[in-house]
Amino acid sequence: MTIHGESTSHASVSQPTDRAASFRPGAGERLRYEFSRKLAPHVGFVWECALGGTADFRRANRELVTERRVVVGLRLWW
């Protein structure tokens, strides 16, 4: 049994139906506990924020500019 920690960073770009593309950088941490290489539950935290025009659109629609989430999952391999 082993414990693994992972740091991630990402950026997503999408083209919504309104005027501008959406750009959302983010980062996260995950802690995975491997019972074996085939079974490993994990828990983590993800943070994302909107920048520039995307943040302005979100504020105008009374949406959050920054999002924080707790993630839980199970890694299976067969």
Which tens digit of pLDDT belongs to each residue from 9-18? 655 555 555 5
Q: For the chain, what are the domain ranges?
A: 2-76
Q: How many CA atoms lie within 13 A of 46 on its CB side?
A: 15
pLDDT digits (tens, 9 = 90+) for 3-46: 666 666 655 555 555 555 556 677 788 888 888 878 888 888 88
Predicted confidence (pLDDT) at residue 62 exceeds the cutoff of 90: yes
Within 8 A by CB and 6+ apart from 76, the residues are: 38, 39
Question: Does the predicted model carry a pTM greater than 0.85?
Answer: no
